[in-house]
Structure 1
Amino acid sequence: MARSVDATAASTVIRCELVEPADINLVALVRHNLSLGASITMEFSSAGEVVASRTADAWPAIWPSEELPFSRNNWFFGTFSESERANFPPIFFNVGDSIFCDSISIYIDDTTNPAGYIEAARLIVADAWQPAYNNTPGANVAWEGIGEWVQYAAGNEVGRQIEPRRAVRFALDHLQKDEGWTRCFDLQRELARCGEVFVSLTPGSQYAMHNSFLGRGRVFTGLDLNILEYATQIEIVESL
């Protein structure tokens, strides 16, 4: 866990120098303490020159207005309420077109954070892969409860609460050979080495916060080397 000394603008800047220039699509902060009004600006630089910039809210809209009572303070914008924010896995991510750069500066604007500082468990800067063809129909995403119920002699049960984790299961049955070998098979190698992957089923949509997380591989079946297309099955479970 990394923590700033305070929440001032000067203390909440993250500078990331890449080992070598690379194409970057994704910037993410996992398990942060950013407040509802926080925003994040990302500057991508190459050879000392800023080549692109993105700004995003730390907590984006997740609700269509018709799903909320008109009396709710967040009815118009569809953003998190304070109680929802407090009970949701805190994750910020921004994914977009590939940007070739050698460094990234992340400016966090959350000077009124009640904690008086900013913290996050993991910073992710990476490229992204979206298969040429979508996953096969039948993918499943679920919250997995890992708590337990204890029954006492009197017959009553008491739950031992542990934060649930998300898991996604899907099949890719129409992989092109090039992406099968260079993206999918290499990804499975990293997962087999206890690596992690950031997964988002609907990036850019209103539901992305629900189905995006940092996870580890639990099941990956390798590549089925069919004549025209390759296929695989993958299961990823939330790790942080």
Structure 2
Amino acid sequence: MARLLAWPNRLDAPEVLLSGGNWAIGLENLQDMRLSKVSRSGDLDMASTRFRVDFGVERTIQAVAVIGHNADLDGRVRLTGYNDADFSDLAYDSGWLDLYPPLFSPSDLEWEDENWWSGRISSEDLGEDVRTYVRILEQQFLRYWQWEFDNRTNPAGYLDIGRVFMGPGWVPAGKMTRTPTLAAETDTVVVRSLAGSIYSRRRKSRRVAQFRIERMDQVEGTNRALRLALDRGLDRDILVCLDTDEELLGQQWSLYGILRNIDSSPLEFSGVEDTAMNFQVEQITG
């Protein structure tokens, strides 16, 4: 079991150029953390639902994500990386992949379930959760990338994307000795009348991950763990994958979010050479 923490989002650098496709609401919204500020394709033609990324310089990329999209269950994605500005010298190709990978094995479902064959989330269960696709790569050091989406069956008639993340990853050499936890939180307001009736103002639920990394040497603890907290603060995004080897639950065990409680989670010098640090990551939902 390997955990990965990814930051910063290289898409946000001022020199990054996004181009291509047919986007009725511009690609610049992909560089905004607010998922409500979407990029929206003009139609569902595959020539429209794609775009290119020029980082300006070669960048190390290990973790990518598509967050806050509106693709239906037939949605697919392909990510390619190139050595040249003409996008002709292919260096990386993910191939076409489902935006909704399997979450269940056949033994987890009933034969009558609509998703028994695919193992993917059912249309009924898509619900209000932020639709997110996460992929962990072998490290790539490239300047030019292309995202392509195939979702011609989308009933909305267009593809929305709230955010795209592309960044380097840190796989701690230290150990997560405290079992990570995933909790559900909500800001839903619930009141009860004198007669006992319940009234509510519903808000989206969000996931919160908590974990502790121990037995980091002082270099890793200072230059990675503490630097993460200093750089991200409470308002800059991070992508966390709690288990990069998990096939069925990897998507659900990954979080695009922000750190919290960093003032009460200092870097601890727990031994002559060792350090440790606690982390909490809160999912961004809007």
TM band (smaller chain): over 0.9
Are 2:108 and 1:63 aligned? no
Write out aligned runs for 1:113-152 (5 A): 113-152=154-193
Are 2:257 and 1:238 aligned? no
In the alignment, the residues of structure 2 paired with residue 53 and residue 229 of structure 1 have an alpha-carbon distance, to the nearest angstrom, of 39
The code of the aligned residue for 1:24 comes to I
In the alignment, the residues of structure 1 paired with residue 261 and residue 181 of structure 2 have an alpha-carbon distance, to the nearest angstrom, of 14
Contact 2:176 2:214 in 1 (8 A): yes
* CA distances 1:47-100 after superposition (whole Å, capped 9, x unpaired): 332211103210000012111111112213311111112443200111121011
Contact 1:190 1:196 in 2 (8 A): no
Contact 1:219 1:233 in 2 (8 A): no
Are 2:67 and 1:22 aligned? no
In the alignment, the residues of structure 2 paired with residue 73 and residue 193 of structure 1 have an alpha-carbon distance, to the nearest angstrom, of 41
Residue in structure 2 matched with residue 100 of structure 1 by the alignment: 141
* CA distances 1:10-52 after superposition (whole Å, capped 9, x unpaired): 1101211114211111221111001111111101112332211
1:151 deviates by 1.7
Question: What SS is found at the alignment partner of 2:225?
Answer: helix
The code of the aligned residue for 2:259 comes to G
Residue in structure 1 matched with residue 240 of structure 2 by the alignment: 199
5+ unaligned residues in a row in structure 1: which ranges?
Answer: none
* CA distances 1:190-237 after superposition (whole Å, capped 9, x unpaired): 221621101111234211222212111112323223322111111111
Residue in structure 1 matched with residue 274 of structure 2 by the alignment: 229
5+ unaligned residues in a row in structure 2: which ranges?
Answer: 1-37
Residue in structure 1 matched with residue 47 of structure 2 by the alignment: 10
Residue in structure 2 matched with residue 209 of structure 1 by the alignment: 251
In the alignment, the residues of structure 2 paired with residue 112 and residue 157 of structure 1 have an alpha-carbon distance, to the nearest angstrom, of 39
In the alignment, the residues of structure 2 paired with residue 16 and residue 63 of structure 1 have an alpha-carbon distance, to the nearest angstrom, of 33
Stretch of structure 1 that moved more, 5-14 or 150-159: 150-159
Contact 1:46 1:100 in 2 (8 A): no
1:159 to 196, 200, 217: 200
In the alignment, the residues of structure 1 paired with residue 120 and residue 206 of structure 2 have an alpha-carbon distance, to the nearest angstrom, of 22
Write out aligned runs for 1:35-114 (5 A): 35-48=72-85, 49-55=89-95, 56-114=97-155
In the alignment, the residues of structure 1 paired with residue 46 and residue 117 of structure 2 have an alpha-carbon distance, to the nearest angstrom, of 29
In the alignment, the residues of structure 2 paired with residue 187 and residue 17 of structure 1 have an alpha-carbon distance, to the nearest angstrom, of 25
Question: What SS is found at the alignment partner of 2:178?
Answer: coil
Q: How many pairs align?
A: 240
1:109 deviates by 0.8
Sequence identity (%)? 22
In the alignment, the residues of structure 1 paired with residue 232 and residue 60 of structure 2 have an alpha-carbon distance, to the nearest angstrom, of 21
In the alignment, the residues of structure 2 paired with residue 24 and residue 109 of structure 1 have an alpha-carbon distance, to the nearest angstrom, of 23
In the alignment, the residues of structure 1 paired with residue 134 and residue 228 of structure 2 have an alpha-carbon distance, to the nearest angstrom, of 20
Give TM-score scaled by structure 2 length.
0.79
Question: Considering only aligned residues, what root-mean-square deviation do their CA atoms show, in Å?
Answer: 1.6
Contact 1:219 1:236 in 2 (8 A): no
Question: What SS is found at the alignment partner of 1:22?
Answer: strand
Give TM-score scaled by structure 1 length.
0.93
